[in-house]
């Protein structure tokens, strides 16, 4: 019996590792296709790929870290950080908020940490992230890859207070709030990160000028944690043609994590 369990565990670990390798191969092949287009293998000159791998100068890493050790929030426990946020006046959003929306879900090594843009009206009223229409849609995406905010997901936002009229958070608001997010990541230690929409994706990748089309569907690393970017559920509700790319991105993340898609599409 013990031997069967052991074998099962080993098989699961192997399947998960193979999934990761396969996802990396997909990425590698797409680089090759971009660089050379379809064509005869023998005519391919791999020197530009070699240059990318071994550049003359150190490339800008796609990993973000830049923790400012002097910020007192980097020394706080999860509970202290949350209670600090409840009284935060570091930016102007504190003047118009009803509630601070800190985060919800699994706080100990969740499989995925979801990062949205900022609380909307319902979230501001309830003090909880993604509880409106976009949140219900997000829950369906998560369920489609066997994830749930009730068990193995943590959900938060780039800013913890609602921007008036649901405008995008301003850069100074995001940077005032960024230490909360970084310390949440440090304390919660998610196995992966999923950024929803452009404000979260540009902040977390450090690629401020990139479009969502350029950032989605790729793996980045934040503090060594694998990170995927995709469209925001609210954007998909406005433009249903984004459903397919989101589903592709979710499947890629699920494969990397060794998760079984629950079947069907993200509807």
Of 232 and 255, nearer to ligand URA (C-beta) is 232
Q: What residue is closest to ligand URA based on CB?
A: 116
Find the shortest distance in angstroms from Cβ 157 to ligand URA: 5
Find the shortest distance in angstroms from Cβ 136 to ligand URA: 11
- Residues at the contact surface with ligand URA, assessed by CB under 6 A: 116-120, 123, 129-130, 134-135, 157, 234
Of 84 and 124, nearer to ligand URA (C-beta) is 124
Q: Which 3-state string (H, E, C) describes the chain? A: CHHHHHHHHHHHHHHHHHHHHHHHHHHHHHHHHHHHCCCCHHHCCCHHHHHHHCCCCCCCCCEECCCCCCCHHHHCCHHHHHHHHHCCCCCHHHHCCCCCCCCEECCCCCCEEEEECCCCHHHHHHCCCCCCHHHHHHHHHHHHCCCCCCCCEEEEECCCCCCHHHCCCCHHHHHHHHHHHHHHHHHHCCCCEEEECHHHHHHHHCCCCCCHHHHCCCEEEECCEEEEEECCHHHHHHCHHHHHHHHHHHHHHHHHHCCCCCCCCCC
Of 118 and 226, nearer to ligand URA (C-beta) is 118
Of 110 and 119, nearer to ligand URA (C-beta) is 119
Find the shortest distance in angstroms from Cβ 58 to ligand URA: 34
Find the shortest distance in angstroms from Cβ 217 to ligand URA: 19
Find the shortest distance in angstroms from Cβ 122 to ligand URA: 8
Of 130 and 222, nearer to ligand URA (C-beta) is 130
Of 71 and 168, nearer to ligand URA (C-beta) is 168
Other beta carbons within 10 angstroms of residue 258's beta carbon come to 16
Of 125 and 187, nearer to ligand URA (C-beta) is 125
Q: Packing angle between helix 171-188 and helix 198-205, nearest 10 degrees?
A: 70
At 58, give phi and psi (nearest 5°).
-60, 125
Find the shortest distance in angstroms from Cβ 18 to ligand URA: 34
Find the shortest distance in angstroms from Cβ 222 to ligand URA: 18
Beta bridge partners of 104: 155
């Amino acid at each position: 019996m013990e031997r069967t369990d052991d074998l099962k565990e080993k098989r699961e670990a192997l399947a998960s590792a193979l999934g990761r390798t396969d996802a990396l191969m997909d990425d590698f092949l797409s680089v090759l296709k971009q660089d050379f287009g379809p064509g005869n293998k023998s005519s391919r000159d791999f020197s530009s790929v070699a240059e990318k791998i071994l550049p003359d100068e150190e490339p800008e890493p796609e990993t973000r870290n830049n923790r400012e050790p002097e910020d007192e929030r980097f020394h706080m426990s999860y509970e202290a950080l949350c209670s600090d946020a409840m009284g935060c006046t570091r930016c102007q959003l504190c003047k118009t908020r009803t509630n601070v929306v800190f985060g919800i879900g699994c706080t100990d090594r969740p499989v995925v940490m979801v990062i949205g843009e900022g609380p909307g009206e319902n979230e501001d009223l309830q003090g909880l992230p993604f509880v409106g229409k976009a949140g219900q849609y997000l829950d369906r995406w998560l369920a489609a890859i066997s994830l749930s905010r009730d068990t193995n997901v943590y959900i938060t936002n780039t800013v913890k207070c609602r921007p008036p009229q649901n405008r995008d958070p301003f850069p100074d608001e995001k940077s005032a709030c960024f230490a909360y997010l970084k310390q949440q990541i440090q304390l919660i230690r998610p196995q992966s990160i999923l950024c929803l929409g452009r404000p979260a994706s540009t902040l977390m990748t450090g690629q401020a000028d990139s479009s969502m089309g350029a950032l989605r569907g790729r793996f980045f690393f934040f503090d060594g944690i694998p990170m995927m970017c995709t469209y925001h559920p609210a954007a998909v509700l406005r433009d249903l043609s984004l459903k397919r790319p989101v589903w592709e991105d979710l499947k890629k993340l699920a494969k990397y994590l060794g998760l079984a898609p629950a079947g069907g599409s993200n509807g």
